[in-house]
């Protein structure tokens, strides 16, 4: 089976989060109310709900990398990944993890970059040279 994923998370400032996902990333806004909004995030549904307070836990990392164990993102085509990387660089986005090739020469080699949204959620944008490599084991 396949289908778009649905991810819901919280913010303390719905206007700020709308500026980030809607205006900056260009995600199409779906249904919304005063305290929540749905976005089309590359074909997947984000629901972001305003709450009075966020409780952040310490970010935990894979001990063999700088990648946080809690993150989410999207797999793009190489062309789209490069366009987005160039856009981020042009407008001066601070990368959480700079654009790079990871797992070079291994199964799973990919290009990856991380940014944070205004509430500190780590978002990964990645791509593979060949789309078939996404789930390739060997």
- Non-local CB neighbours of 24 within 8 Å, separated by 6+ positions: none
Domain count, the chain: 2
Are 126 and 76 in contact, with CB atoms under 8 Å apart? yes
Contacts of 61 (CB under 8 A, 6+ apart): 67, 68, 69
CATH number of the domain residue 42 falls in = 3.10.180.10
DSSP element (H, E) containing 17: helix 14-18
Are 124 and 87 contained in the same domain?
yes
**Is there a single domain that holds both residue 43 and residue 85?**
no
Enter the pTM of the model. Answer: 0.90
Residue 59 in any domain: the answer is no
Which of 28, 23, 55 is closest to 44 using CA atoms? 28
pLDDT digits (tens, 9 = 90+) for 90-137: 999 999 999 999 989 888 899 999 999 999 999 999 999 888 888 888
3-state secondary structure of 77: coil
Is the pLDDT confidence value at 138 over 80? no
pLDDT of residue 127: 96
- pLDDT tens-digit profile of 1-44? 888 999 999 999 999 999 999 999 999 999 999 999 999 999 99
Residue with tokens 């900056």: 24
85 in the same domain as 30: no
Residue 78 has pLDDT above 90, yes or no: yes
- Residue 36: strand pairing partners: 33, 49
Residue-number span of the structural domain to which 79 is assigned: 72-135
């Amino acid at each position: 089976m396949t289908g778009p994923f649905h991810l819901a998370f919280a913010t303390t400032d719905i206007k700020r989060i709308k500026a980030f996902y809607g205006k900056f990333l260009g995600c199409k806004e779906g249904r919304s109310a005063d305290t929540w909004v749905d976005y089309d995030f590359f074909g997947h549904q984000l629901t972001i709900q305003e709450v009075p307070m966020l409780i952040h836990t310490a970010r935990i990392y894979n001990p063999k990398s700088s990648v946080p164990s809690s993150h989410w993102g999207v797999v793009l085509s190489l062309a789209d990944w490069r366009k987005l990387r160039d856009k981020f660089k042009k407008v001066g986005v601070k990368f959480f993890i700079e654009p790079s090739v990871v797992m070079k020469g291994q199964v799973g080699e990919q290009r990856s970059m991380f940014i944070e949204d205004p509430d500190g959620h780590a978002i990964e944008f990645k791509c593979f040279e060949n789309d078939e490599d996404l789930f390739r084991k060997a």
